[in-house]
Amino acid sequence: MPRLATLHAALFTFLLIAASLLAADPSEVVAALDASNLKAIEEFSPEEILEALRQDRKFPDLAKGSRSLTVTADDGRETDLWVVVPGGDFERYGVMVMLHGYGGGGSQVHSGYYRQFAAREGLLIVSPSAQPLEDEQRPEDLPDMLLGNPVLHWWSYRSDGLIDAAIDWAKGVAPIDEERIFLSGYSMGGYGTWNLGMRFSDRFGALVPMAGGMSLREGPVGRPDERVRSLLVNLLHLPAYIVHGDSDELVPALYDTRSIKALTGLGYPHRYHEIAGGKHLLPVREGSKVMKSIQKWLKDRKRDSHPREIRHRVLDLDHGRCYWLRIEKLIDPEKPGEVRARIDKRNRIALITENVHSLTVFIDEELIDLKKTVRISLKGRSIFRGRVKPRTDVILDSWRDRRDRHLAYRASIHLQVGGGRK
**CA-closest candidate to residue 155, choices 202, 100, 219:** 100
Domains defined for the chain, CATH in brackets: 65-298 (3.40.50.1820), 309-416 (no CATH)
According to the 3-state scheme, what is the secondary structure of 247-285? CCCCCCCHHHHHHHHHHHHHCCCEEEEEECCCCCCCCCC
Instruction: Tell me the C-alpha to C-alpha distance, in Å, between residue 354 and each of 314, 399, 417.
Output: 10, 26, 10
10-residue mean pLDDT series, the chain (422 residues): 52 41 78 90 91 91 95 97 95 97 95 96 98 94 92 97 97 97 98 98 98 90 90 98 97 96 97 98 97 97 98 98 98 98 98 98 98 98 97 95 96 92 46
pLDDT for the residue numbered 13: 46
pLDDT for the residue numbered 16: 37
pLDDT for the residue numbered 147: 86
What is the number of other CB atoms lying within 10 angstroms of the CB of residue 210?
A: 28
Which residues are paired to 79 by β-bridges? Answer: 71
This prediction's pTM:
0.93
pLDDT for the residue numbered 24: 80
Where are any strands of DSSP class E within 301-421? 309-314, 321-322, 325-330, 337-343, 348-354, 356-362, 374-378, 381-386, 412-416
DSSP output for 23-82: SPPHHHHHHHHHTT-HHHHTTS-HHHHHHHHHSPPP-PPPPPEEEEEEEE-TTS-EEEEE
**CA-closest candidate to residue 266, choices 222, 300, 313, 206:** 313
pLDDT for the residue numbered 18: 38
User: At 248, which amino acid appears?
Assistant: D
